[in-house]
Amino acid sequence: MNPLEPILLVKSGQSLFGIELRYVREIVSDFPIFPLPAKFRNISHLTILRGTPYAVLDNEYYLRIEHKNRERLILLIGQMAISADEAVRTISPEQLSRQENKTEHATSFIREVVQFRNRIIPILDIQAILNDRPDFEFIPT
């Protein structure tokens, strides 16, 4: 099993989740957000930062987080963006302990579940998210 890595603790609505720090390229607070031209299960919006468009992931699909208000932050992860309300803090691996049972957070996009103080934190599987293709079935009319 790979050793734990430093994570960024992120809050969206009432939910907390972790992203391995090495994936986080930038955190942006002032960002325009645009709807997509078709319905995709895994991408919710598009944002443009410094002229470059990024796909904003659908948190409901990847994290099972239902959050009605518009998030205030965008975390750039490679060529995609994750929306959130707050980047709480970074946490070093020594402060985290692995949890064997991750059934409560079971999605194929959760790499593992860790405990920080008395909170259970799911850590996103960024590679799995990057490899997840948008589902769009072509049904000619």
Closer by beta carbon to another protein, 80 or else 120: 80
The residue ranges that bind another protein (CB under 8 A) are 32, 34-40, 43, 46, 48, 50-55, 78-80, 130, 133-134, 136, 138-141
**Least distance to another protein, CB of residue 12, Å:** 19
Q: How far apart are CA 86 and CA 88, in angstroms?
A: 6
What number of other Cβ atoms are within 10 A of residue 55's Cβ? 17
Q: Which helix (H) or strand (E) holds 45?
A: strand 43-49
CB of 16 to another protein, least distance (A): 24
Which of 97, 102, 100, 68 has the alpha carbon at shortest distance from 85? 68
Provide, rounded to whole angstroms, the least separation between the CB of residue 82 and another protein. 11
Q: Which is nearer to another protein, 70 or 133 (CB)?
A: 133
**Which of residues 17 and 54 has its CB atom nearest to another protein in the complex?**
54
Quote the distance between the C-alpha of residue 70 and its chain's center. Answer: 15
Q: What is the distance between the alpha carbons of residues 89 and 9, in angstroms, rounded to a whole number?
A: 5
Query: Minimum distance from CB of 40 to another protein (Å)?
Result: 7
